Each structure stands twice: as C-alpha cells, then as structure tokens.
C-alpha cells in the first residue's frame, strides 16, 4: 500500500495531456487506465471517436482503489467533513460485481456507467459526475465530484450521495463556485434524460463484452506529480 500525506496530495495528470474527443483515437480492444486521482482502473476500449469514449471494466480486474491511510475503506468514516480530510492511501484490489461499461461523452463533466444484474439484465445507468476527461497515450484522467445520479430503466432519475456532497463542500473539497457548477451538471444530466438524448438512447444496455478478452493488468507503479 502506498500512502500520501493528505487527501489533497493526489496524483495530477502530467503536463502533456490533451482533451478527450480529439484524434488520435484508441482502437477497439486497446487496454487503457481510467484514473481518478489515486484510483486506477485498467479497462478495454469498446469505442473511441469524436463523440466520446466507451470502455469496459471487467469483473475481477486488478485495480488500485483509494482507501484510508490505515487501509480501511473510506466509507468507514461517518459522512461528514472528516471523510474528506482524513489521510488517504492507495491499495491493490480487484473489481467486484458484474462489470461496468463506462461511456464518457466528449466535453462533459460526467460519465455514464451501464450496470447489469447477476442474470445479465439491465439494472440501471449510473451517472458519475466528474471532471471533464483528459488523456495521454495510455490513460484517461478525471476526478470524482461525489454527487451522482441513478437513471432507472423506466427513465426515473434519482440523485445519489447528496449528503456526502454537502459534507465534501463543508470539508473544503469543493468551494462554493465549483459546488454550483457540479449542481448545474446534475441539472444538465436530468434534462438530457428527460429528452432521452445520447448515450441513454444509444442501446448500450444491450451490449455485451467479448468473452475471449483476457483480464487487463495494472501497469507498474510510476512516480507521478501531486497537487500541493
């Protein structure tokens, strides 16, 4: 387990990143890493073009996840400002569950995750609010914005983790201006669902992974810059 001195001391993208949605694009089947600060998720590209990136996180994929400095789960800290000020670390794990298809439309501060149940039925779209995506040759970089939305198959939308988002603002994770931008992003998602726009209308819930794809592996650790 690698430790960091403070929750704000998280890896930041290198200087040579570029916006997602610009060529060159990744070929289908390419293994990339989707990075949320300390968290690293190796994924396989399904589609990458000017409209956005679609990638598959397979069950049991080795990942790095963000944990407390003592190795405990972050959610072991009760919801409140301390959850966002307690020192953090990175820990190796595997992805649990049925796998996720992640869809990152170009230029928007969120990604849409398609979830299936254990029988393979479509369970929900999960909209993860996060920074607009940038990339280099092998990685996508973003940071989680805490507030999320769940879109049910009947198109009902429910906001998720509003209490945790309020605690993140109180703990200084986001200032008032950024918090307002995140709230507006949630409003935009709700409008997009109401109009049934892409990617919700694109049929990705019917997609299935190639059973012959091997699990990707974590890249070797590298020295990365950190935020002050």
Kindly report, residue by residue over 91-139, the tens digit of the pLDDT.
999 999 899 999 999 999 999 999 999 999 999 999 999 999 999 999 9
Query: How far is residue 69's CA from residue 4's CA, in Å, rounded to a whole number?
Result: 7
Pairing of strands 52-57, 39-49: antiparallel
- What residue spans define the domains of the chain? 2-205
pTM of the model: 0.90
What pLDDT score does 11 carry?
65
167 Cβ contact partners less than 8 Å away, ≥ 6 residues apart: 79, 80, 81, 83, 84
Query: How far is residue 80's CA from residue 89's CA, in Å, rounded to a whole number?
Result: 19
> How do residues 52-106 score in pLDDT, each as one tens digit?
999 999 999 999 999 999 999 999 999 999 999 999 999 999 999 899 999 999 9
161: left (phi over 0), alpha (psi -120 to 50) or beta: left
What pLDDT score does 13 carry?
74
**Among the CATH numbers 1.20.210.10, 3.30.2010.10, 3.20.20.140, 2.40.380.10, which is that of 2-205?**
2.40.380.10
Checking if the pLDDT of 222 tops 60, the result is no
């Amino acid at each position: 387990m690698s430790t960091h001195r403070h929750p704000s001391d998280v890896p930041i993208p290198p200087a040579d990143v570029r916006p997602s949605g610009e060529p060159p694009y990744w070929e289908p089947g390419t293994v990339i890493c989707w990075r949320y600060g300390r968290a690293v998720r190796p994924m396989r590209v399904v589609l990458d073009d000017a409209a956005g990136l679609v990638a598959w996180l397979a069950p049991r994929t080795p990942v790095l996840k963000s944990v407390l400095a003592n190795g405990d789960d972050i959610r072991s800290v009760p919801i409140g400002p301390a959850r966002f000020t307690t020192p953090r670390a990175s820990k190796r794990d595997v992805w649990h569950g049925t796998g996720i298809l992640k869809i990152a439309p170009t230029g928007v501060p969120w990604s849409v995750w398609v979830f299936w149940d254990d029988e393979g039925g479509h369970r929900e779209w999960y909209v993860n609010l996060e920074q607009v995506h940038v990339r280099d040759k092998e990685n996508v970089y973003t940071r989680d914005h805490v507030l999320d939305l769940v879109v049910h198959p009947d198109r009902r939308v429910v906001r998720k983790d509003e209490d945790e988002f309020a605690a993140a603002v109180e703990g200084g994770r986001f200032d008032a201006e950024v918090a307002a931008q995140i709230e507006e992003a949630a409003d935009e998602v709700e409008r997009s669902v109401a109009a049934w726009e892409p990617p919700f209308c694109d049929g990705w819930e019917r997609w299935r992974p190639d059973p012959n794809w091997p699990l990707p592996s974590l890249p070797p650790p590298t020295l990365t810059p950190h935020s002050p």
